[in-house]
């Protein structure tokens, strides 16, 4: 085929096919890169398992619930705690727990290595909000028969798998510690 002067030769069919394949290959590579990028973005750490530091619990002050309304014996405080947990009453719960109180969930291994412990009123109130309120216990009309062991300004009650420790201060009883034997 002869070329005429001033006119460019028409590209051959092989050349057009190669250019078309090149464009398709570039598109394929771009699509593959976009898909890889999306896959990697989806694989990043989930916010549920983030390693970012967790803010400490907010300080909580005792509520204005009068001590008389709570009762003036350890059994009344156990009943008030159960019913406040059942009705999601954080203010009453704050009025029941001593500022330095703790809840310890005793696990199966001997010693405290696998126990869960919440120390301080603020941490205990956070435990209610996060772990108890989503599935609250039923309220109680009366407390089952309990034996209260009083020694001066301290008292202890064993109630099923729970062991309650109380302290008397400022003319009233406060919950000082709750040990829950989750394996019991």
Domain ranges of the chain: 12-43, 67-181
Higher per-residue pLDDT: 26 or 9: 26
Average pLDDT of every residue of the chain:
78
What strand order describes the sheet that includes 97-106? Answer: 116-119, 97-106, 172-181, 162-169, 154-159, 148-151
State the pTM of this model: 0.63
Higher per-residue pLDDT: 82 or 63: 82
Is the pLDDT score of 123 beyond 90?
Answer: yes
CATH T-level fold of 67-181:
Nuclear Transport Factor 2; Chain: A, (3.10.450)
Higher per-residue pLDDT: 13 or 131: 131
Per-residue confidence (pLDDT) for residue 11, from 0 to 100: 58
3-state secondary structure of 83: helix
Per-residue confidence (pLDDT) for residue 45, from 0 to 100: 43
| C-alpha–C-alpha distance, residues 184 and 182, integer Å | 6
Is the pLDDT score of 118 beyond 70?
Answer: yes
């Amino acid at each position: 085929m002869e070329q005429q002067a001033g006119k460019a030769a028409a590209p051959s069919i092989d050349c057009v096919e190669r250019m078309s394949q090149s464009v398709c290959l570039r598109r394929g590579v771009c699509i593959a890169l976009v898909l890889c990028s999306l896959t990697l973005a989806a694989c990043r750490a989930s916010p549920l398992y983030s390693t970012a530091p967790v803010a400490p619990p907010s300080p909580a002050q005792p509520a204005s619930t009068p001590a008389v309304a709570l009762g003036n014996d350890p059994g009344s405080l156990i009943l008030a705690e159960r019913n406040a947990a059942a009705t999601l009453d954080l203010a009453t719960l704050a009025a029941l727990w001593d500022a330095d109180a703790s809840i310890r969930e005793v696990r199966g291994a001997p010693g405290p290595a696998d126990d869960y412990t919440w120390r301080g009123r603020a941490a205990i109130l956070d435990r209610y909000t996060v772990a108890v309120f989503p599935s609250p216990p039923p309220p109680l009309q009366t407390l089952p028969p309990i034996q209260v062991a009083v020694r001066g300004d301290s008292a202890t009650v064993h109630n099923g798998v729970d062991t309650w420790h109380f302290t008397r201060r400022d003319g009233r009883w406060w919950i000082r510690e709750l040990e829950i034997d989750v394996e019991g």
